[in-house]
Structure 1
Amino acid sequence: MGIIIGIGILTLVIGIILFLYVSPQFGDSPTATQEQKFALTNHYKDGKFINIGEVDMQMGIKDIGKSLIGYFRPTKGVTPESPISVETIIPSDLMDYSGETRLFWFGHSTFLLQIQSKNILIDPMFGDVPAPHPILGSKRFSNHLPIRIDDLPPIDAVLISHDHYDHLDYKSISKLKHKVKSFYTPLGVGAHLKSWGVSKDKIYELDWWEEIVVSDLKFVCTPAQHFSGRGISDKGKTLWSSWIITSKNENIFFSGDSGYGSHFKTIGEKYGPFDFAMIECGQYNTLWHEIHMYPEETAQAAIDVKAKQMMPIHWGAFKLAMHEWNEPVERLLKASEIQNINVIIPKIGEEIKIGKTITSTEAWWE
């Protein structure tokens, strides 16, 4: 019996090791030459990227244990009682669109932005589970997405905020890469894309505060307070960011993942005001408060960046924390009412036109 148990444990260990080193889900690491260039920035130290003020999240064994127990403990309300309904997007309605700037939300932090006759995907995570393997994460709250990847129009640009699984998905990129002209990422993230078959000629990596002009649009890579990593030993090896998208008519902000910090005010002073801001609001906990905001801080971040209209993101799709799934928007709405912030909370798949009230007015998350 002891031999059988020993063989079973050894097989499990070998299987895990093979998975860690063979599975394409984990992507790849930046080259040594790239790391030498990273060292020239003021937010790279001892082989890793760091936050402004070196804010970090160092959870001890005790805190990790609390986190795992809380995550896997069955708790009422952390997921919807029934699958979330989503609005269907008709493929033909997206093709050759040249009307007013609009967005479609896919839940969590994924968007399709149609602006200046261009199609832009933001953090395209279309998978069912935000993890390297289905058994390691919880399933999406909805049974399906508003539209299939295959039915999306040609994509002019993909913006990626960082390399965590709920924002950068291997299978989504694999299906998308043939219809995308260019990918824009923070420093180092391109290594994952190249390992997944994306041509290096399509990949543009930016540092914080770097700008790139693409036809009649400008993309700006701006700071966030977070961290990165897809495996066991690659924390901080790639940069994380927020993004600004500017056209001749609109100025748009996407927060990516971030704890609350001074960078929001700096971004607002340098590039604001913003006509529309998508700001993180969800998956928070006292154990990792440094890298995910409370809803009340989301409201303050909207004020800091000078958002004329804001939308809470990073919720409505996956269970990644222990709070009730709809708590983030309930708390945000209370805070925004006090501070007179213009908030919209569209259904997944609903058309969002900047500066205009969305068509649905009911509190669908209730």
Structure 2
Amino acid sequence: MAPARRGDRSPGRRTGTAVGLAALAGLAGAVRDVPLALGGRLTSTRAERAARSPQFRDGSFHNPASSRLPTGNMDRDLVRELFFGKQKRHPTMAVPLLRPADPPAVDTARELSIVWYGHASALIEIEGQRVLLDPVWSQRCSPSARVGPKRLHEPPIRLDELPPLDAILISHDHYDHLDLATVRELTDRQNVPFVVPLGVGAHLDRWGVPADRIIELDWSESHHLGDLTLTATPAQHFSGRGLRRDGTLWSSWVIAGAHRSVFYTGDSGYFTGYAAIGAGYGPFDVTLMQIGAYDRAWPSIHMFPEEAVAAHLDLRGGLLIPVHWATFNLALHDWSEPVDRLWAEAKSRDVRLAVPRPGERVVVDEPPPVDGWWQAIA
């Protein structure tokens, strides 16, 4: 989420986002759950397994490619834009929400639909099974309930209104993808496994998730749920919930049934690994692509919208559905800019696109036409 990286001299390390350490330091003594929200540390068997990973060296996990460092006076540019920029970082009216309708009566052996709940939280309904991605239902993506990026819209449904799940998939441990309160409630309500990248299980363990419901995977490792296969694949990002950076792995995910398949980016910069994933696991019926929270100051950890289209093509994707936008302000661009740019690029490259409202179910074989709903409230 935040652009900081251990050992990265880019301005992202020094400026961060609104979920940065300045906010954490100011409230750590006043907010009871902050220490718990920071999560756990790798010890014993978990630490030994992390150390055996090809991605782990010198005490931390590493990206598959070198980060692209920014040029110019980015610190000065960010401060100037923060105080004097004219970005429209909030919609002028309420973001329209939909309650997901019952899934259509189709052959469950071929069924594939996506429900986007906002930001990166989404439900994949594939061949009769349901996988929930990066669920965050809290008002803020922060270790504190008092400060940090606040929602631009409410979740379209409550957690107790979710249908029965088969798995919960986490891409990495940043606060806008892994939320303490949401994990706790889902642990009580849904008796299903959390499938996570290496090391992230330490957070879940500290938060009371039973050990037999924590499945940790390195890149290229898979977990099987009947005919469904969940595979961790590379991403170019970073991890951390406090001062410690890159102590847990980050991942993209392949969700594959007997007949249908889905790719989810998690958070990632654009990198050559997308073509390798497409060759090894594609083609994909649908890709869920991260498009928001980009900036020239951190080009290697979040994609620009045009790069998301390029990655979708590298992946051999069919339908593209954007995520990671419209819910939290995590960068200085207009709140709706990512999807405007994505729509233009998708049209120019003849890419099939669906842009659901939060809570809207997209049947992948019959996606709704893009109607520009966000432009009416921009």
TM-score (norm 2): 0.85
Compute the displacement of 1:335 (Å): 1.4
Number of residue-to-residue matches in the alignment: 348
* 1:40-119 to 2 correspondences below 5 Å: 40-55=52-67, 67=78, 70-71=81-82, 75-89=86-100, 93=102, 99=108, 100-119=111-130
- Cα distance, 1:47 vs. partner? 0.8
1:125 corresponds to which residue?
A: 136
> In structure 2, what is the equivalent of residue 195 of structure 1?
206
Matched, 1:365 2:367: no
Q: Does 1:239 align with 2:229?
A: no
C-alpha distance in structure 1 between counterparts of 2:258 and 2:161, whole Å: 29
Over aligned residue pairs, what C-alpha RMSD do you find?
A: 2.7
Decide which structure has greater helix share. Answer: 1
Q: Tell me the secondary structure at the aligned position of residue 334 of structure 1.
A: helix
Deviations 1:263-284 (A, max 9, x none): 1011001111101000111100
Q: Give 1:219 deviation, angstroms.
A: 0.6
Encode CA deviations 1:46-65: one digit per residue, 9 max, x unaligned.
Answer: 110000134377999x8567
Unaligned ranges ≥5, structure 1 = 1-11
Q: Hey, what's the Cα distance between the residues in 2 that align with 1:349 and 1:251? A: 21
Once structures 1 and 2 are overlaid, which stretch shifts more, 252-261 or 46-55? 46-55
Residues 222 and 15 (structure 1), Cα distance of their counterparts in 2 relative to 1, 3 Å cut: closer
Q: Is the alpha carbon distance of 1:197 and 1:67 closer, same or farther for their aligned partners in structure 2, counting shifts above 3 Å?
A: farther
Aligned partner of 1:146 in structure 2 is 156
Separation (CA, whole Å) in 1 of partners of 2:78 and 2:293:
12
In structure 2, the CA distance between the partners of 1:15 and 1:86, relative to structure 1 (3 Å rule), is closer
Q: Does 1:169 align with 2:175?
A: no
Mark the CA change 1:318 to 1:73 in structure 2 (over 3 Å): closer, same or farther: farther
Deviation at 1:334, TM superposition (A): 1.5
Contact 1:184 1:204 in 2 (8 A): yes
Aligned to 2:10: none
Task: Provide the rounded CA distance (Å) in 2 between the counterparts of 1:309 and 1:57.
Answer: 31
Please state whether the residue corresponding to 1:136 is helix, strand or coil: coil
The aligned residue for residue 347 of structure 1 is: 357
Instruction: Kindly report which structure 2 residues correspond to 1:268-307, keeping only aligned pairs within 5 A, or say none.
Output: 268-307=278-317
1:296 partner SS: helix
Equivalent-residue separation in structure 2 for 1:161 and 1:14 (angstroms): 28
Question: Does residue 37 of structure 1 match 2:49?
Answer: yes
Alignment of 1:186 onto 2:197: yes
- Higher RCO (C-alpha under 8 Å, 6+ residues apart): 2
**How much has 1:171 moved relative to structure 2?**
0.5
- Matches of 2:129 and 2:307 in 1, distance apart? 32
Q: Percent identity?
A: 37
2:28–2:34 Cα contact (<8 Å) kept: no
Rg larger in 1 or in 2? 1
Instruction: Quote how far apart the aligned CAs of 1:236 are.
Output: 0.1
SS in 2 for 1:133: coil
The residue aligned with 2:6 is: none
Q: Is the 8 A contact 1:48 1:236 kept in 2?
A: yes
- 1:96-115: per-residue Cα shift (whole Å, max 9, x none)? 99853222101111011222
Distance in 2, matches of 1:116 and 1:298, equals 26
Counterparts in 2 of 1:188 and 1:292: CA distance versus 1, 3 Å? same
Q: Using the TM superposition, give the Cα deviation of residue 222 of structure 1 relative to its aligned residue in structure 2, in angstroms.
A: 0.2
TM-score (norm 1): 0.88
One of 201, 206, 219 as aligned partner of 2:217: 206
- Once the two structures are TM-superposed, the CA of residue 20 in structure 1 deviates from its matched residue by 9.2
Shift of 1:145: 1.7
Q: Is the 8 A contact 2:200 2:249 kept in 1?
A: yes
CA displacement 1:219-276 (0-9 Å, x = unmatched)? 11000000000012x2100000000011112111000000000110110011111010
Residue number in structure 1 paired with 2:330: 320
How far does residue 139 in structure 1 lie from its aligned partner after superposition?
A: 1.6
Q: 1:270 corresponds to which letter in structure 2? A: G
CA deviation string 1:108-143 (max 9, x = no partner): 11011222322211001111111111343222111x
* 1:215 aligned residue (206, 222, 226): 226
Residue 228 to residue 103, structure 1, CA distance change in 2 (3 Å): same
Partner of 1:201: helix, strand, or coil? helix
